[in-house]
Amino acid sequence: MNNSSSYNSTSEGLHGTPTTSIIMFLAGVVGNLLALFILGVHQKKHHSRSSIFCILVTGLALTDLLGTCLLSPLVFVCYAHNKNLITLGGDSLCNFFGFTMIFFGLAPTLILCAIATERCLAISHPYFYSVHIRRSFAKVALVFIYLFSLAFCLLPYSGYGRFRQYNQGTWCFVDMDATGDEHPNLVLAFSLSYSSLMALLIFIVFVCNGSVIVSLCQMHQSQLVRRGSVVSMGRKKKLSLAWFVQGEEEMEYLVWLALMTVIFAVCSLPLIIAGFVNAIHPFQGDSENLKAFRFYAFNPIMDPWVFIICRKSMLRHLCSLLSCHFGKGAVKTTAHCALSLPLDNTQCHIQPLNCGTLKEPTEPTN
């Protein structure tokens, strides 16, 4: 493949410092290792087989960690030698970087889509889930995701699309404008295929999450109707808040996946949009592409930290603070406030967790 581009690949000088790249690398590695540690502790503590949800989340953390460890060191080497990728290792290094970039962008997205689909089936269609979905679903899904991502990312090596170096020479990605290429139609077709696939996955995740939100709201409403048929409106409001404060596992899932989806969309959409825009009217220079790429690079860094923050203990603490801040007649201390919402004539106690991770949400029964 020819990696010629509007960026001068023979220019060896790099602008700026690797400080931001180092911070992002450390945040990504520490976050993913901590997320894997939490999952491991949970598995060991409960002496049970990993659930479908936990297997997929573990696969997501491992994929993000491997991608960070493969890509960031190449950037550090570029800065250390003050050379861009092509000058440092030729077209082969640029192609490898581009291949790695799209593989570790596509695979985590597919895993997130698999998690959203699995939870949608478990919560919105529990009977179908209990009859047809088994633990092997997660392992088969991960194998399929990796094989599909590998096959898709190898297409530029067959002439369908290509990778090129972008300013400032420390990253290579899919050629999004086909400037000066001998086969521009094939190059643009691959770029548009990648952007379209990523956009489709975002849409699927949002649809699955929307279905889950509707199901959870229906469950919540039916719970209030059963418990609050003879109580006042003020009592129903307390029941509504207590339902969340108690740390319902379905709500934990919703908060975690909703945050993951929003972060994924915010990080991925700029590059997806850049792919479509470049195919119609290419940007003048790579400054806009570089901004989109920086957003894209934040996704594997944010994923594990969202998982860590959304642990049940953290959610309960945040809910306690919210109930203290917004509840009428709330007492001064957070601990007392967390216990001040009676539910069915009992105190809403915050019990210590038996696991330090986001637990798999329970599935409703018909």
Q: Are 208 and 253 in contact (CB under 8 A)?
A: no
SS (H, E, C) 149-190: HHHHHCHHHHCCCCEEEECCCCEEEECCCCCCCCCHHHHHHH
pTM of structure: 0.76
| Coil vs helix vs strand at 84 | coil
Q: Is the pLDDT of residue 156 over 50?
A: yes
Residues 6+ apart with CB under 8 A from 34: 304, 308
183-192 pLDDT, tens per residue? Answer: 788 888 998 9
- pLDDT of residue 158 exceeding 60, the answer is yes
Residue 237: what pLDDT? 54
| pLDDT over 90 (residue 96) | yes
Mean pLDDT across 74-99: 91
**Which CATH architecture describes the domain 19-338?**
Up-down Bundle (1.20)
CA terminus-to-terminus distance, the chain:
56
| 89, 144 Cβ separation under 8 angstroms | no
- For residue 99 the two structure tokens come to 């291949």
Asked whether residue 267 carries a pLDDT value surpassing 90, the answer given is no
| Cα–Cα distance measured from residue 244 to residue 249, given in angstroms and rounded to the nearest whole number | 9
pLDDT at 288: 79
Please state the separation of Cα 309 from the chain's center in Å.
14
Q: Which pLDDT tens digit goes with each residue over 333-365? A: 333 333 333 333 333 333 333 334 444 444 444
Residue 311: how many CB atoms within 10 A of its CB?
21
User: φ and ψ at 186, to 5 degrees?
Assistant: -70, -40
Contacts of residues 43-47 at CB distance under 8 Å and 24 or more positions apart, as own/partner, are: 45/354, 45/355, 46/354, 46/355
The β-bridge partners of 165 are 172
pLDDT above 70 as % of the chain: 68
